[in-house]
A and B are shown apart, each in its own frame.
Chain A
Amino acid sequence: MTADQRPKLHGLDMLTEKGRAEWDAAGMQVSVLAESPYKKDFPLLAANPQLAFLDSAATAQRPTAVLDAQRSFYETMNANALRGLYKLSVQATEAIEAARAHVATFLGLSERDACDILYCRNTSEALNLVAYSFGSMVLKEGDEVCITVMEHHSNLIPWQQACARAGAKLVYLYPDEQGFISEDEMRAKIGPRTKIVAATHVSNVLGVCNDVALMAKIAHEHGAYMVVDAAQSVPHMPINIPELGCDFFAFSGHKAFGPFGIGVLWGRHDLLEAMPPFLTGGEMISSVTEQDAVWAPLPEKFEAGTQDAAGIFGLDAALTYIEEAGFEALQAREQALVNVCMHRLGELEFVRIIGPDDPAAHHGAISFNVCTVHPHDVASILDMDDVAIRAGHHCAQPLLAYLNVESCCRASLAFYNDSGDIDKLIRGLKHVYSMFHG
C-alpha cells in the first residue's frame, strides 16, 4: 500500500508529539484521555486493567448501577408483574411502567407516549415485530421496501422475508465512497411504489450516521413509512424521535450499557393500534373465549408472556447512568478517543481504514484491515495481547460485498475507554504485522 492509497485524515496532523499542545489548545485535551474516570463504574473493566475492551458496538460493558438495579429487583420486588394483586406484584408492575415512561422521555417523547413503548428482547425482535405485523398489514404484491446496503442482518433478513411473503421488491440505497447516502440517492430509490423505508441510524461497520430524518421526510412525501434501527445510535447520541419524524424506532438495552435480553420498540400510536399482534398468549388479551380473543390495549397487545422485569429495571438504571454522566461529556470524550485512534491507525502504513475519513463521522466504530493478514488472525493475535476487537463480516455481508471486502476488523470505542486502550491496540497491531512480515 503506497502512501497516497491510504486514507487521508483531515485535521488530525496536529496530533504529532509537537502538535499535542495545539491539540489541547483546540479543546481536545489529550491528557484527560490517559485515564478514564468511568472505568471504575464498570466492574469488569475495573477488575481487568490489562484488558483493552474495544468491542462495545457488539455489546457494551455494564456499570455497577445497572447490575445493582437488577439484583435489587430480585431482592426487593421480585414478583410477576401485571398478574398479582399483592404488594410485590404491584411494585414490580410500577417499576416496569416507570421505566417505560423513562424510556419515552429518554427518546424525546412525553410520558404520555409511554404506551407506545413496547418491550421486547432486542432490536432484532423489535424489527421482526414491525416486519411481520406492520409488513403484513401494508405490503402488497408489486410494492417496494427500501433499505440501505449497510443494514445489519437484523434489519435486512426480516425485510427480505416480508417482501417474499407479500411479493414485494427489496430496493437498496447505496452510499458514496465516504459512506454517506445522498439525498439524490434517496430520491432516486424512494418513490410512489415504496411502502416502507427501513434504515440503520448508525452503521455498525462504517460508523456513519444516516440522515434518517430526511429519509423519513421523503418516505412520507410518497405515503411510505419510516423504520429506524437505532441499535448503534442510542449508545452514542441523544435521541429525539419527534425530530427524526420516523414511524418506528428500535434499539437494544445491551448496547446501551443495559442488560442483555431487553430491547425497545417505539411505534406511532395509530399504527400500533391498527397492527395485528406479533406474539400471542398471556397478558396480551382483554378477554378470551374458546374460539376468539380480544386484544389488550397498548402496550400489552404486543407484550405476550412474562416480561424480563429485572432487565427492564436494569435498562431504566442504564438510561439514568447516561443522563447523569451527560451525553455532552460522553460524546466529547468518545469523539476525542476516536480522533486519536484514527490518527494513530493512520500512522500505521499496513493498516487500511474502512469508512469515512472524518473521525467525527464514526460514532465509536472504526473498521480496518491489516495488509495481507486475515481479520481472524488479527483478532486472535490481539487477543493474546488482551486486546478485544471484532473480526469477520459483522452481520453485514451485503455491505462487505458492496465494499469488495471479504471481512474486516473493527475496534469500537465507548466513553469508558482511554488512550491506554488505544496504545495497546496500536502495539498489538504492530505485533500482528511483525509476526507476518517480521
Chain B
Amino acid sequence: MAEGNIYSAALMEHNAHPDYKYEMDDPTHVHEGVNPSCGDQITLALRVEDGVITECAFTGSGCAVSQASTDIMADLVTDETVETAQHLADLFMKMIRGEADEDELEELGEAAELKGIALMPARVKCAELGWRTLDVILKDQA
C-alpha cells in the first residue's frame, strides 16, 4: 500500500468502537454538520459548564474517516476549556493544510494520525466534519 495511509489501526478502532457516539441527555449545545457531496452527517452535542466542555457526544452516519475523526475529537476536547478546544480545532485545520509543526502535532494527540489526509484532497472534508461542526458551536454559541 502506498504512503499516506490514513486508515491507521487507531482510526479503524475509533470507527468500529466509537466511545462518544451516543445521544446525550440535556446537552447545552447541539449542531448538525453535513458534507452534502458525500452524505456524511453528524449531530454534535456538547455540555459546557463554567467554560469547560464536560461532555461531548455525537450521532450520525458516514464514512470511517468522518466518524472516527469525530470520535477522536470528542475524546480530545472532553474536560478541556472552550479556549483549549478552540485552539485544538485551529491546530487541526492547520494540520490539514499541512502547516503544523512537530510540537503542534503532539498537542493533537491521536488526531495527528489524520495528518496524511492533507495528501488526499477528496477526503479532507470527511476528516474536518467534526472539527468544523465544533468550530461553529464554539464560535457562535459557547
Contacts and interface: CB of A to CB of B under 8 A. Distances in A.
Interface string B1-35: 11001110000100110000000000000000000
Interface stretch (B59-67, B79-87, B103-111): B59-67
B136 interface: no
B7 A376 contact: no
A380 B114 CA distance: 14
Interface string A371-410: 0011111001100110000001100000000000011000
Contact of A406 (B12, B39, B122): B39
Contact of B38 (A381, A385, A407): A407
A436 B64 contact: yes
Contact of A392 (B5, B12, B37): B37
Nearest to B38: A376
A435 interface: yes
A385 B7 CA distance: 13
Given A376-B126, A392-B37, A393-B39, A385 B1 contact: yes
A436 B12 contact: yes
A384 B5 contact: yes
Given A374-B62, A407-B39, A435-B7, A380 B1 contact: no
B123 interface: yes
Contacts of B63: 374-377
A374 B129 CA distance: 15
A376 B1 contact: no
Contacts of A374: 62-64
Interface in B35-75: 37-39, 61-65
A435 B12 contact: yes
Nearest to B117: A380
A380, A392, A393: which has the most chain B beta carbons within 10 Å? A380
Closest 10 CB pairs of A and B: A374-B63, A376-B63, A384-B1, A377-B64, A377-B63, A406-B39, A384-B2, A407-B39, A376-B38, A380-B123
Interface of B: 1-2, 5-7, 12, 15-16, 37-39, 61-65, 120, 122-123, 126
6 contacts: A376-B65, A376-B122, A377-B7, A384-B1, A406-B61, A407-B39
Given A373-B64, A376-B65, A436-B12, 18 more contacts: A374-B62, A374-B64, A376-B63, A376-B123, A376-B126, A377-B7, A377-B63, A377-B64, A380-B6, A380-B120, A381-B7, A384-B5, A392-B37, A393-B37, A407-B38, A407-B39, A435-B12, A436-B64
